């Protein structure tokens, strides 16, 4: 039973704006807060999640014929774990320096809510190509969120961007601390909602989850 998929552009924009995993769905907030102390770290985790999301969505869609609904959760977990391990091995082999910084969080991707929820909500009901684009959009949305939050925090917290010094002082040290991470994400959420209101949409109250879903 496959549903007709929305157009590709809609699926990609949905991941970045309307259903952005971090700013709209409030999923995976803990790693988002922990990693986004600099653009570089945010970017690395964002890329890792992007790759895992796309591959997992495609795999779940490809295997949906043999996945019995009663045991779909363990199978999803196996699929995610495979691609996370592949990502982990690839980073360790070819990007050793960055791996030392974000290695711990890469392993944690297994438990990210956003990935398993897209498999459950989309891949199980759609074919491989639409699942690819859904994963692409959602992964990109997470990547954008990581870079945005990372840029905001690095700029205000350490006065630099991508490790290059922009100003010689630290404008607002608070934002680099864990509490500042939540403030940052809250502020960007406000921005998202404000833009949405200006565009004439209603606030998606029922969509916003909350809490610390990995």
Residues contacting other proteins: total by CB under 8 A: 21
Look at phi and psi of residue 6 and say left if phi exceeds 0, alpha if psi is from -120 to 50, else beta. Answer: beta
128-167 residues in contact with other proteins (CB under 8 A) are none
Q: Which is nearer to other proteins, 94 or 164 (CB)?
A: 94
DSSP secondary structure code for residue 61 in this structure: H
Quote the least distance from Cβ 79 to other proteins, whole Å.
Answer: 7
Quote the least distance from Cβ 190 to other proteins, whole Å.
Answer: 32
Quote the least distance from Cβ 90 to other proteins, whole Å.
Answer: 6
Binding mask 58-77 for other proteins (x = CB under 8 A): -----x--xxxxxx--xx--
Binding mask 80-119 for other proteins (x = CB under 8 A): -xx--xx--xx-xxx-x-----------------------
Q: Which is nearer to other proteins, 70 or 202 (CB)?
A: 70
Quote the least distance from Cβ 96 to other proteins, whole Å.
Answer: 4
Binding residues for other proteins (CB under 8 A): 63, 66-71, 74-75, 78-79, 81-82, 85-86, 89-90, 92-94, 96
């Amino acid at each position: 039973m496959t549903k007709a998929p929305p157009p590709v552009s809609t699926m990609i924009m949905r991941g970045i704006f309307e259903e952005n995993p971090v700013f709209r769905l409030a999923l995976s907030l803990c790693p988002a807060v922990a990693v986004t102390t600099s653009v570089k770290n945010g970017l690395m985790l964002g890329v890792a999640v992007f790759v895992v999301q796309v591959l997992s969505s495609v795999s779940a869609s490809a295997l949906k014929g043999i996945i019995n609904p009663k045991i779909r959760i363990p199978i999803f977990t196996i699929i995610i774990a495979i691609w996370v391990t592949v990502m982990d091995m690839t980073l360790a082999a070819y990007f050793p320096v960055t791996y030392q910084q974000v290695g711990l969080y890469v392993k944690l991707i297994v438990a990210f809510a956003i990935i398993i929820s897209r498999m459950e909500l989309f891949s199980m009901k759609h074919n491989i190509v639409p699942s690819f684009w859904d994963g692409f959009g959602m992964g990109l949305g997470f990547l954008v969120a990581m870079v945005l939050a990372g840029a905001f925090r690095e700029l205000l917290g350490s006065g630099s961007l991508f490790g290059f010094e922009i100003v010689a002082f630290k404008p607002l040290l608070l934002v680099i601390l864990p509490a500042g991470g939540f403030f940052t994400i809250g502020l960007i959420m406000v921005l998202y909602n404000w833009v949405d209101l200006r565009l004439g949409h209603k606030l998606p109250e029922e969509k916003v989850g909350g809490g610390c879903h990995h």
